[in-house]
Amino acid sequence: MKKVILISFLFINTLIYGQTIISNSATVYLKNKKVLNGEMRMGLKGLRIKHNSKKFKVYMGKEIDSVHISTENEVYKFEYIPLKHSKGNFKDYKLMQPVFVGKKITLYNYSEAVYMSNGFGMYGKTGGSFSFLYAIRNNEKIPTRIGSNFGFHKGFRKEGPKYFKDCPDLVSKINNDIFTKENIIDAFKFYETTCAK
């Protein structure tokens, strides 16, 4: 399982390197229950797909339930998740990949490319990517960031205990480094089976 997760992280980080995922054969599930198949260009906030047409049609994140991309060995699933909820509306949808999906809680990975200046005030070559981890319980409206590989953001060691404060046993294990960002999926499994009610 951990090997598959590692491959998934590598897959999404590689594809989002240029802010766009390109697939010649993708399946898009819309929230209105329609299913689209075809060539697709997927960005951080929406996608374009050719479905029974020679032209691309644009769909924004708020219209999309999930996107499935098949490779030779695996099917990768992506979702557009809202990071804000204001006045009854969901906003700021971001492209994320589910890393752990339980009956009570889900862990998502969100990656964003970083562009480096070429010295003339222009941004050109990609300098890498930042990865953020978000958690959401089934009874929550928006996810909470609980980890990052970006130095200016607090990692799982700091954010984990805050988010899982309803489970003292898990907080203790995080504080004692039994669960870290390296085995964060085990922490979610522990919460799913031991803590969540």
Query: What are the pLDDT digits (tens) for 69-98?
Result: 988 888 889 999 999 887 778 888 988 999
The pLDDT assigned to 197 comes to 64
* Mean predicted confidence (pLDDT) in 12-41: 78
The yes-or-no verdict on residue 67 having pLDDT over 80 is yes
115-139 pLDDT tens trace: 444 444 444 444 566 788 999 999 9
Q: What is the pTM of this model?
A: 0.78
Taking the domains of the chain in order of start, what are their residue ranges? 2-195
Asked if 21 contacts 42 with a C-beta cutoff of 8 angstroms, the reply is yes
Give, in degrees to the nearest 5, the angle at Cα 13 between 192 and 8: 45
The yes-or-no verdict on residue 15 having pLDDT over 50 is no
Collapse the DSSP code of 190 into the 3-class scheme (helix H, G, I; strand E, B; otherwise coil) and give the result.
helix
The yes-or-no verdict on residue 164 having pLDDT over 50 is yes
137-159 pLDDT tens trace: 999 999 999 988 665 456 899 99
For strands 64-70 and 57-60, give the pairing. Answer: unpaired
How far apart (Å, rounded) are the C-alpha atoms in residues 77 and 75? 7
Run of H or E residues at 130: strand 123-137
How far apart (Å, rounded) are the C-alpha atoms in residues 2 and 23? 25
Most trustworthy range by pLDDT among 14-18, 19-23, 91-95, 106-110 = 106-110
Least confident of 28-32, 38-42, 176-180: 38-42
Collapse the DSSP code of 189 into the 3-class scheme (helix H, G, I; strand E, B; otherwise coil) and give the result.
helix
Q: How confident is the model at residue 13 (pLDDT cuts 50, 70, 90)?
A: very low
How confident is the prediction for the chain on average, in pLDDT?
82
The yes-or-no verdict on residue 171 having pLDDT over 90 is yes
